[in-house]
Chains A and B, each alone.
Chain A
């Protein structure tokens, strides 16, 4: 029983890591107060649904289309909205709130508020001894883990990744080093949004697709990166797994709601005692 709970927790944990993926880049590394990130995730999920289910395009292509479309959207909102208030927290928060309302309204009008189901990506269940785990959850775990590795390699290893880090730490110094901060910010927002789209698409098949699924993503995503430490990709992994395990274990003995309460209370404690999080620097 406990092992199943831990396994559920681990799979939930990697899902949270996946959901926090783009947010780590946008909020954690670029320090943009993008509270509407959850809505980007939601739009990605809807795009995947409409491409694959309504239009019959194959899954991989659907994900590709969603990633590309949301990349573009990310670049647009950075250019038009967030760039103006870069560094200013209060206006950025208000802009993000406006975007949340905007995207949700668009989704309700364009897609309707009923729940839609994306067919399971891989049907069936993996059984190891007494522990059962659905194959599509295994897939999301692998994508989550893989994507984190790729993101880590990107930030540490590529010039663009390092440029992103530099421009968030000190835009002026970065500019002196030849970094085009505007360009980098736009690409970062676009990439983060594309990652959110992929996460949304995967989650849409594990759960359901509806216009209000974004609040789950932003609250869990924020919880993950705060627990793990802003700016730290390894921290996002640790944060996600810890949160997932808490959810998995607590829901064994109590309810899922109770698990959420415990998780959020943990975050509040972290913010009070050590806002840097488990592995945050700075």
Chain B
């Protein structure tokens, strides 16, 4: 096995062991859960943004997933596992509906459209009291049903099982998106992101590919929203503000272009506010500092750091070359 595969496997094992190690510590488990949810959203956004579709409206898609899933589970008594999947599909449906018109819009305008879309979704959730509970939102959202497998008794009243559910969803999302990236489709998507007009001129159906990855990404984003809703058991529109969307984008940008980028970005930037919580209202300064450091010094993101170090080490040891 290559060094990289061993490293990745080790990380997965660590991720699997952490909730068990934190058993009983509600706070650590909560942070783990939020890391997982944020990472799902970040990984999805990166895949979408690779085609040039930089979205600052992902909170809107999470909201669609969260509300759809919660409403189906509470008002229609749909089993929660199905409700969460439906939440993902609801989000994907929205992406499919607006995807084609959106695919024709240039970057700056695209960013702005997604901002307004996210706001519209939040305002609708705020206004549509009969369905979404308005500003007070929904409560008593049920967790997934408990089950037993041999000696394993899974009861979601215990947070640890939520953590594992989120982890498995995350691993599934990573598996799917990584394989898409490595496939022929992934090459096409990358080409579209780099040179859209050129891609179109060689016969690539740019719009279809863009909509496709938007739908896939938004399905997972909706799923993240559903997980959030059933985990928190209460839901209101404040959770899906423009700042939530901006944070997801920041996770991707700070993490970097590589596939591991959003994972690194989401985990680190979810942990930072917790680590520096003692700073209270000064805590966002740490965030901002990291953001500016990355933008100015490390444009490739945190995952670019090893390469940068290797390069400068290579330069100093090689000395003056011809």
Residues of A within 8 A of B (CB): 33, 84-85, 89-91, 93-95, 97-98, 100-102, 104-105, 108-109, 215, 219, 222-223, 226, 255, 257-258, 260-261, 264-265, 267-268, 271-272, 275
Contact = CB atoms under 8 A, between A and B. Distances in A.
Contact of B246 (A33, A97, A258): A97
Contacts of B246: 97, 100
14 contacts: A89-B111, A91-B299, A94-B249, A95-B295, A102-B284, A102-B285, A105-B284, A255-B127, A260-B123, A264-B123, A265-B120, A268-B117, A271-B112, A275-B105
B316 to A, nearest CB: 26
Contacts of B288: 98, 101-102, 105
A261 B285 contact: no
Contacts of A265: 120
B127 A258 contact: yes
B116 interface: yes
Interface in B106-126: 106-109, 111-113, 115-117, 119-120, 123-124, 126
Task: Say whether chain A's binding surface is mostly helix, strand, loop, or mixed.
Answer: helix
Given A97-B249, A226-B112, A261-B124, A91 B281 contact: no
A264 B60 CA distance: 14
B195 to A, nearest CB: 16
Contact of A272 (B105, B107, B127, B253): B105
A153 B253 CA distance: 41
A39 B106 CA distance: 26
Contacts of B291: 94, 97-98, 101
A258 B295 CA distance: 38
B83 interface: no
B253 to A, nearest CB: 5
A215 B242 contact: yes
B250 A264 contact: no
A193 B123 CA distance: 29
Q: Is the interface of B mostly helix, strand, loop or mixed?
A: helix
B281 A108 contact: yes
B287 interface: yes
Given A97-B246, A264-B116, A275 B127 contact: no
Interface of B: 54, 101-102, 104-109, 111-113, 115-117, 119-120, 123-124, 126-127, 242, 246, 249-250, 253, 281-282, 284-285, 287-288, 291-292, 295-296, 299
A48 B54 CA distance: 36
Contacts of B126: 257
A70 B198 CA distance: 43
Interface centre among A102, A108, A226, A271 (most CB of B within 10 A): A271
Contacts of B113: 268, 271-272
A104 B288 CA distance: 11
B282 A109 contact: yes
A264 B120 contact: yes
Contacts of B106: 275
- Of listed A85, A255, A258, A264, residue having the most chain B CB within 10 A: A264
Nearest to B254: A94
Contacts of A101: 284, 287-288, 291
Contacts of B287: 101
Q: Which of B104, B106, B116, B127 has the most CB of A within 10 A?
A: B116
Given A90-B107, A272-B113, 7 more contacts: A33-B108, A85-B295, A97-B250, A101-B291, A109-B282, A219-B116, A258-B127
Contacts of B107: 89-90
A84 B296 contact: yes
Contacts of A275: 105-106, 109
B116 A223 contact: yes
A261 B120 contact: yes
B285 A105 contact: yes
